[in-house]
A and B are shown apart, each in its own frame.
Chain A
């Protein structure tokens, strides 16, 4: 009996459609988020993340409706984020059916927001999303979808975020994102060792071995990927069986009807 390592498909959207981009650039449409969610509800991931990577203010109501439709299709936890900057925006996301919120740029601008959100929704609902890129020494935090450097040290920012109320860290390696060269195991391990909250590794996964490495050497509590799951290049059930066979505790749900 132990806490399972989690596998999380991520629906990157433009607010309305699932889109695909490499290293945060060049978006193209992949499908309806609610249809993906319905598929994933049956395929056995441990939660689903839906992000508005465009995060344009005008399209906010569209994204809220997308969250509602995705939540409707799921009987597992849902995390939503992208452009959340105030308690009111967070409340709309929670009301639409998200169990957790990711906060990124707004938390860098005003770290107190993490504390305010934790006191309103509980730490378990507040996920600090950190986009990190290798710097000259260590890793630096980048914001605005990876376009703007902050100079913050990623590990220190994770520690500060957790102490301010974030209950989880969603850690994306910008260097690896979309490259299919594997998670940044060193970055993940550095953050996971430094914080007392769970860490979700993201960016660069292509093979089951990449997941094994980020759980075993990267000390990740969860691992997230997008297109390899959307395109079924790594089927989630098969990935979990592989991880289980290598001694990683994962949740394998019985077939429907077995309960």
Chain B
């Protein structure tokens, strides 16, 4: 199995790639939609501003091919901004569209706490999760973001709190998403990536 990493210039792509290779995964980078065709499993990395990803999705058939692959049941893991792109839009860049797989709009975290939400935090589980299988309930994950989805649908299997409860992990069909950075979250993060590799196999 080869894991396809969507390469649109996201700063964390090399880290994601390194973390996956450490687990023995075979990876390749896909620039543009065409390179996604026939993927076994896909990772959509991301960090930074929503417009960078929204713009990339609109170019080179990337958004269209991602949809086609997900429709075909190919497992897709969205990381940070990658997860945020699963929603309809983000208030960080209100004129641009997300993929719209999940209902709702990504919002800024509330003021009154230090922003960005930067550092290690814990999750609260809301349902059974393949990504979190075997990971201790009190495990820590590394976050670096100022925006998040605040939705409460059944796809939300874990939330985190920073001024407000926000979506930390979603799972729905072939869609998997995490707001934190598993590639930077030490052993717990490696366990998330290993779980994704297992379920994609």
Contacts and interface: CB of A to CB of B under 8 A. Distances in A.
Interface of A: 1-4, 6, 41, 46, 71-72, 75-77, 94-95, 97, 99, 119, 121-125, 167-168, 196-198, 221-222, 251, 253-254, 256, 258-259
Contact of A124 (B146, B161, B191): B146
26 contacts: A1-B122, A4-B140, A71-B14, A71-B15, A72-B18, A75-B183, A75-B186, A75-B189, A76-B184, A77-B142, A77-B184, A94-B11, A99-B11, A99-B184, A122-B49, A167-B146, A196-B111, A197-B115, A198-B118, A221-B118, A253-B140, A253-B186, A253-B187, A256-B187, A258-B136, A259-B187
Contacts of B11: 94, 99, 121-122, 125
A93 B126 CA distance: 38
B64 interface: no
A198 B183 CA distance: 22
A157 to B, nearest CB: 18
Contacts of A76: 142, 184-186
Given A6-B120, A76-B184, A222-B119, A254 B114 contact: no
A4 B48 contact: no
A1 B15 contact: no
B115 A251 contact: no
A123 B111 CA distance: 16
Given A77-B142, A121-B11, A253-B186, A168 B191 contact: no
A125 B118 CA distance: 10
A168 to B, nearest CB: 6
B114 A198 contact: yes
A90 to B, nearest CB: 10
B184 A124 contact: no
A97 B14 contact: yes
Nearest to A91: B11
Contacts of A95: 14
A40 B14 CA distance: 20
Nearest to A255: B187
B119 A167 contact: no
A124 B145 contact: yes
Contacts of B185: 75-76
B34 interface: no
Given A94-B11, A125-B47, 11 more contacts: A6-B119, A46-B120, A76-B142, A77-B142, A99-B144, A122-B11, A124-B47, A124-B48, A167-B118, A198-B114, A221-B118
